[in-house]
Every structure is written in structure tokens, then in C-alpha cells.
Amino acid sequence: MSKVKITVIKKFEPKEIFGHDIVRKDTGKPVPPCYLNEGQNFFVTSHLEPPEGFCEKAWIDIYDILMIFYYDGDYAYPEPGMTYTPCNDGIRPVIFKIEKQD
């Protein structure tokens, strides 16, 4: 099993995607940006649980790629041992860099 590092590369606010805030009908308040921070790193130490502080929704979204790397597989794109992937939150997406750590 390989150690896998997840780095938050870029997070987008709803205003960047739509040109305006997205307001929740139930609260009347704008949808906040993702709580993860650009440059934040996480290390995968279990194939079952997300790292502490990592978004559980994003974990579900990128789980298949993480497990390929965790179990020593590879995408080799754009280079061996590393890839980029987004979570699928269409209102406030986040781009992650996923790397094997040998």
C-alpha cells in the first residue's frame, strides 16, 4: 500500500462560477465557499476513513482515484504517481492534486 497525499490546489466560490452569489431559499443566506484551504495537505492512512478535517463529500467524490493510488496503482497522468481531480460540488468545486508518497 502506498501513502497518498491530497493537496487542495484551488477552490472556487459560487460567485466565480455563476457571476453572483447563490442564495439558499431556506435561510436566505449565500452558500459559503468550501471550508478547505488552498495549499492544505491531507494524508490517506486508511482506505475506509477520510483524513481528519477532510470533506466527507469530496472523499466520496475522489475515493476511486485515491484507492487506485493507495493500492499502488497509477493513472500516470500528467506524470507517474500524480494526478489532478475535482470534487463534484457544482456550486463551489475544489481541485485536488493526488500524489503517491513512497
Q: What is the pLDDT of residues 70-93, one digit of tens each?
A: 898 998 889 999 999 999 999 999
- For 32, residues 6+ apart whose C-beta sits below 8 A from its C-beta are 92
Per-residue pLDDT at 48: 85
40-75 pLDDT, tens digit per residue, is 999 998 888 899 999 999 999 999 999 999 898 998
Per DSSP, helices labelled H in the chain are 14-18, 56-70
Contact 7, 99 (CB under 8 A): yes
Over the stretch 11-32, which tens digit does the pLDDT of each residue have?
A: 999 999 999 999 999 999 999 9
Cell of 64: 476511486
